Structure 1
Amino acid sequence: MFLENSITRQAIVVEALVDSLALPTTTDPGRLARILDFVFSYSKTSLLKGLTKGVTGLASLGHSNISLAAQASTALSLPFLFALCLSGSRSTPGVTFFNAGGQYYFLSKIDLAKFLIYTSLVLNPVANTIITYLHPSDEYFIGVNAKKVNEKDVQINKTLLTIDENGFGGSKINTVAPYTVLQTLIYKAFNEAFVKESIGLNLTVTKPVNPFSVCYGAVDVLSTCVGPAVPTIDLVMQSNDVFWRIFGANSMVRIKKKDVDVWCLGFVDGRMSWTDSFRGVVDQFFACVALKLHQV
């Protein structure tokens, strides 16, 4: 079987192994669910080059039938879905729930599942990896039809948000990129809209810190229960009623070192060569994404 590092594009042929895997259950604490004939592999540590410091392995969560999520669903005869929660802490890990459509309890046992809004996954007909090139992508795309800042439309060429016949464009959920990456034209329009709306909050841009372009002095940014007081960002899906709202806790990155203390907008320019208009998740925040496998 093939293994590929999506950062360096290095791929190697490795031997597939079969063993049993046991995972803890949420419905019956202390009980383990066994996955028999679990397919996995190993490689040299050089394949981890370019990934976050401390990473010791990779877990496949894509559309592939041998991904960890798909194998768990098949072995347990349960729905093909999982929820991925990314931690905003450098010391506290996140969590992944397999086959769980809820409940997701947060803050004094509030079931977040009751408030979720759903959107369909979009299949990219052409993968851009070495292993699956010219075949359908195993990655997850969502249909972002518009972007808003403070509920006002960002003026962009919306054809950039769709996937063309060659697999270019579209909006991908990617946990490898540390920050959200935007295609250059979208990035410029988005930054202009964000800065314009920030003026109403008495925020003035200051000297940026790489790799960001929009930063504000931390002393000028108020704190709220949803993070820094900055304009909200909406990723609008199939209708105006279905959107992913991003507050300051999710969109801003605090940089504090020596004589610098700023909040920066955690979106970076992917340059014209990037194939996807929206990539990744912003560092320093907690987010949960529930995905239904193979439902495209």
Structure 2
Amino acid sequence: MGSLTRLIVFLSIFAAITLKANSQYLLPIIKDEPTNLFFTTLSIGSLATESPVNLLLDLESNLTLVNYDYNVSVFIDSIVSCHSSTCESIPGHGWDDGDPYCSCVYRLSSLLGQNASIEAYVIQDTVSISTTDGGKLLSEVSINPLTISDYRGEEFITYLPPLVSGILSLSPVSSSFIKQVISFYGVSPKFSLCLPSSGAGHFYIAADNYFIPPFNSSVSPMTLSPLKAINSESYLLDVRSIYVDGTPLSLSPNLLEGGAKLSTMVPYTLLHTDIYNALAQSFTLKAKNAPIL
């Protein structure tokens, strides 16, 4: 299968919000070659203590996770209380029974496909991003407060590529980075990722005009597929049909609805387990019965 010079993923988050501004924002995307993972650089902290942080892009994380001990020295505006509505809105939230201040805690049982036991304090800090006209960076603006989580320990770093100190949450839930930015500025509820095969890519937020380098003329025109992101922690796609050697797989219509999932953690689209098993079995059978040339 041929590979595109760049992979464009357009994600539209549909929500009933009023558009208050026409601003659009831009962050860089860098590919970590050894792991094939993608990260962006985000400025965290007040103006006096602002530090750039490299964060992996994750379409399924519900809350941005930063290791403040790794290479970040910032001022934490506040720790979120476990009794607050902010804490209650975060999937995976909890609290430390031994903490007299009842600090909100964000818990992870897996990270990058591996079993993990990570607890991070939920905090609110200042984050800066750049506005754009669709092709270049303009002025820098701040979001305060932005709810994120702070993990202080070396175990978290062992799961991440070198020079990366956290995960940027892009899931459809209200606590994710992307949903917080959209809500804070009241902008168009959509974002797009131009994931580079090498070099730099672009991460647009609320952008109606995208600056995208020209493709090779052999690449077919891009089409958009509707996503099912509402009431889900993932971005799902309907599967219309799958053919193996010209024969369609017999699959339940209920299985096809939302049967594929987009991910930035693996270099392919994920299929529902039952769909994948049916595909693998059919392909194996066809391969065994294929004539030997």
TM-score, structure 1 length as denominator? 0.48
Which structure exhibits the higher relative contact order, with contacts defined as CA atoms closer than 8 Å and separated by 6 or more residues?
A: 2
Point out the structure with the larger strand share: 2
